[in-house]
Amino acid sequence: MKIQKILVANRGEIALRIIKTIRELGLDSVAIYSDADIDGIHVHNADEAVFIPNGYLDQDQIIQKAKEMYVDAIHPGYGFLSENADFCRKVISAKIKWIGPDPETIELMGDKINSKELCLKEGIPTLLKTTNAKDATKIGFPLLVKASAGGGGKGMRIVENKEDLDEAIDAAKREAKSSFGDERIFLEKYIRKSRHIEVQILGDNYGNVVHLYERECSIQRRHQKIIEESPSPRLTSSLRSEITKSAVTLGSKIGYKSAGTVEYLFDEDTNEFWFLEVNTRLQVEHPVTELVTSVDLVKEQIKIAEGKKLSFKQKDIKQNGSAIEVRLYAENPKNNFLPEIGQITSLSYPDSKSVRWDIGIKKNDVITPNFDPMLAKIIAYGETRKQATSLLRKELENTHLAGIRTNKEFLIKCLENSSFKRGKTTSDFIERESKKLFVERSKKDVDILMKIATLWTHEKTKEENTRLAFLPRNWTNGTLPKSYVEYEHEEELFCYEYTAENQKILINRKLFERISTSTASNIKLTPEGITLQLDEKFITAKVTENKNNITLNDGFGDIVFKKLPKFSDPNELIIEGSLTAPMPGKILKINIKKGSQVSQGEALIILEAMKMEHTIKANTEGTVTEVFVKVGDQVENGADLMKVE
């Protein structure tokens, strides 16, 4: 059956990416949206869009709307209902094409326990695992607690010793239940120095299965990938042949159809690899495979769903050049990578020829705790890994994103890191390189950037003050102190003074005149920021101010300064000794009561945000004198939770 109209049962960047291929094929697209996404970028890019009141998990309503709009096929993207066998069956029963594998395959491979047992029977290397906590000692510590029905780091815990096992299992079950509706978990051996290697496969309805080589996705935080690349810098040609052959063998054995990914854990020291799981959907990191093989995976998925044979054989697929992808998240790397919310007040990026943006956000979008915090994927392609790394780094450095904290600067540090450049990208990368990855800008750079911010503030104020536009710069009918601006950055206070002199501005950091005095001239505001000559250097910078936060980009990454008000807010209240929410979320569990004695490190409150649990622990021993929240409360970032004295 020829497909003419496709409903995309997803949102954000992946919905937009699928819609792009649908348009290129000359087909019609239908987007769905919830209350939170009425102004979503995917909604405005589809040919048609339909409202789903209960959100992206309402299977029956999605199918009903698809029937009403005479849709031929549904593409689920990733996440949400993409690996839900029941939804797949309902779609097929409604005589609508499912763009993905059969429900039986989804059911078998989506269950990590059953899929591992199948691989054991087929002789595919598989790590030791158990569903019985009593057998944990047989596997040995450290081990991983993992959700059987899902991935993405949800329902996953590293357990170092027996004493922490029960708590980790309980938390993993709750998180798995919340994310996947299935609380089953299993225990698996944890390999500290490993690589995460996955193989992209494609299968049609006629038994043909091919691979599109491998991706390496070893750099992860909180068990979620943040950097992916193809080819892996570690695999030799013989290892590549061995691991891709294993993936094709498994795909053929289960009669795999559509696009799928076979994931492996690779031991850095022994060159052994073990089967982890099969993701029966499009992967977040699929663009790196598309760039090195020149195969549009969504296009192939649609053709397979139409009943067509694969148009190429294994020998036709080549792996050329190098592609690297980074995931741009709304999160704070310095706060254990916890999610952030807020409004995007400014967004601009070069969109260079060799860099691909899969993005689902735009200026003025509000990032809420209701969905995964990933904002975009940025993918660079080069003839060599070195070139791809350099292109991607420069793209990120020249990206200006204000209004919400992201991991952008952390990603730049990763790409600059010498270990990354040498391909030393094992799963312990962030822990191993942490001292280098969290390095701040030099004091000299910060000094220059604060001067630029101060000059921008001065010019902006002057431009907006139309009543006094007739007065010359720095005019006064009396003696006034120097103008100044105060900032807070990395818990340090800064004060910059400036004064006009012969069409120039002299500016310096207070009490540090000898090392920081500069002369600014040729100052001009631009729609995006400011241009000026500072001493003997010409500078162009993008500047955005939002709620006293100034975000500035000089071509080497964003930096944020908090501009302090001249007068303090008398209504601001700080409760000494209080525990505060590290992010917006819902109070899931409170472990103690008012009057309880607590010890340092004790788990006090469990907060759920973006479908993941976060434990709030006591930072000191003492007595709980106040509890400001109750189970079920929605709290904002920084909200007082309880007081310990």
CA neighbours closer than 13 Å in the CB half-sphere of residue 525: 15
384, 400 Cβ separation under 8 angstroms: no
Total length of the chain: 645
Which residue in 184, 195, 234, 281 is the catalytic one? 281
598, 618 Cβ separation under 8 angstroms: yes
CA distance linking residue 496 with residue 482, whole number of Å: 10
Lookup: tokens for 26: 């000359």
DSSP track, 424-492: ---TTHHHHTHHHHTPPPPHHHHHHHHHHHHHHHHHHHHHH-GGGTTSPTT--SS--PPEEEEEEETTE
Helix (H) or strand (E) holding 515: helix 513-516
Lookup: tokens for 557: 């990454």
Nearest residue to 524 via CA among 453, 459, 457, 448: 459
Nearest residue to 561 via CA among 459, 489, 645: 489
3-state secondary structure of 167: helix
Q: What angle do CA 253, 258, 260 make, to 5 degrees?
A: 70
- Spatial neighbors of 363 by CB under 8 A, at least 6 apart, are 344, 345, 346, 347
> What amino acid occupies position 344?
I
Greatest alpha-carbon pair distance for the chain in Å reads 91
3-state secondary structure of 259: strand
| Residue 520 burial by Cβ neighbours in a 10 Å radius (0-12, 13-18, 19+) | buried
CA distance linking residue 553 with residue 570, whole number of Å: 33
Query: Which residues, listed in sequence order, are joined to residue 322 by a DSSP beta bridge?
Result: 382
Nearest residue to 76 via CA among 87, 65, 90: 87
Lookup: tokens for 312: 């190429």
357, 423 Cβ separation under 8 angstroms: no
Q: Residue 557 — left, alpha, or beta (φ > 0 → left; ψ -120 to 50 → alpha)?
A: left
**CA distances in angstroms from 288 to 233, 381, 604, listed in the order given:** 14, 8, 42
Helix (H) or strand (E) holding 144: strand 143-147
- The beta-strand segments (E) located in 245-339 are 258-267, 273-279, 322-329, 331-332, 338-339
Lookup: tokens for 83: 């690996």
Lookup: tokens for 368: 């809420």
CA distance linking residue 240 with residue 305, whole number of Å: 29
Establish whether 281 is a catalytic residue: yes
- Spatial neighbors of 253 by CB under 8 A, at least 6 apart, are 122
- Spatial neighbors of 254 by CB under 8 A, at least 6 apart, are 105, 108, 109, 118
User: Which active-site residues does the annotation give?
Assistant: 281
